[in-house]
Amino acid sequence: MLKKMTPDFAVKESLRENVKFIINVGSSLEGSKKSLEYSRLYNNVFASIGVHPHDAGDFKDKDLAALESLIKGDGTGSNNGISINEGISNNNRNKKVVAVGETGFDYFRNLSPKKDQEKAFISQIELALKYNLPVIVHDREAHADILKVLGSYSSDKSKNLKAVVHCFSGDTDFALKCLELGLFISFTGVITFPNAKSLGKTVKEVPIDKIFIETDAPFLAPQEKRGQENYPGFVKYVAYKIAELKNISVAEVAAVTSKNAENFFSIN
């Protein structure tokens, strides 16, 4: 059984591994609140707020309103004396919230009806557009519907949708179609697994300036650390593998993917 790592340890150890910024991704309303609370505790931690497709069946208008409240910083809770309505930026948005998500489709476990997943996904996309935030997209065995929904937005340039397919699990054809829509692609420690040869081929085909690297902590620890609890410091192993696959330096992978993420999430 994995020993649960404390947030303080994870943040400090990640800094020692030269991880400059951390984006803590919300996958439920309560998780999004917690993510934002942690972002207030650490200057280099930022929050994404959203509801995972697993919970889309219970996603109501009040939940969408609660997510919007977190973005606006209306103050829907506090933890250890840290109010989440601190840090409001000039455009009436909490500056520590840098994205909406993760949201999308999960047809692998199908814990929510597909129509509910689509409704929750579109609602959160609209919320992101309202506040000029990017979307972190969850896709599990739902490539066609991901392309259909995101394609309807990318075809309307006035929408100015920014999205990344996180923890990418598709093939090269799907990756190229995502790139055609202007999406970014984020790879995890999965690319280090011995059985991930096909995904490795996809990494080679995706331009480095369209790539993010992530951990999906606490899950999917890279091959070198299998069986351990994942944390942001392990992202270096993803960088090592991308450098190997693309035959470029680790320094280049780190510099380009970091700049990609800083620009995409408006972190400076």
Q: Which domains does the chain have, with CATH numbers?
A: 7-264 (3.20.20.140)
> Over the stretch 217-243, which tens digit does the pLDDT of each residue have?
999 999 999 999 999 999 999 999 999
Element spanning 144, H or E: helix 143-154
Query: Has residue 206 got a pLDDT over 50?
Result: yes
* pLDDT at 202 (0 to 100): 98
Residue 135 DSSP symbol = E
Q: DSSP readout, 101-124?
A: EEEEEETTT--S-HHHHHHHHHHH
> Over the stretch 87-131, which tens digit does the pLDDT of each residue have?
444 457 899 999 999 999 999 999 999 999 999 999 999 999 999
* pLDDT at 74 (0 to 100): 61
> Over the stretch 161-205, which tens digit does the pLDDT of each residue have?
999 999 999 999 999 999 999 999 999 999 999 999 999 999 999
User: What residues are paired with 78 via a beta bridge?
Assistant: 83
* pLDDT at 156 (0 to 100): 82
Supply φ then ψ for residue 164, to 5 degrees. -130, 135
Going from the C-alpha of 133 to that of each of 3, 70, 71, 235, the distances in angstroms are: 34, 13, 10, 24
Looking at the chain, the number of H-run helices and the number of E-run strands are 9, 9
Strand ordering across the sheet containing 22-25: 22-25, 45-49, 97-106, 135-140, 163-165, 184-187, 211-213
> Over the stretch 37-61, which tens digit does the pLDDT of each residue have?
999 999 999 999 999 999 999 999 9
pLDDT (average), residues 144-151: 97
Query: Per-residue confidence at 78, pLDDT binned at 50, 70, 90?
Result: very low
Going from the C-alpha of 196 to that of each of 78, 111, 244, the distances in angstroms are: 42, 26, 14
The Cα diameter of the chain in Å comes to: 49
Query: Has residue 157 got a pLDDT over 80?
Result: no
Q: What is the Cβ-side half-sphere exposure of residue 213, based on CA atoms within 13 angstroms?
A: 32
The sign of the dihedral angle between the CA atoms of 120, 125, 129, 134 is positive
Element spanning 165, H or E: strand 163-165
CB-based burial label for 225 (10 Å; 0-12, 13-18, 19+)? middle
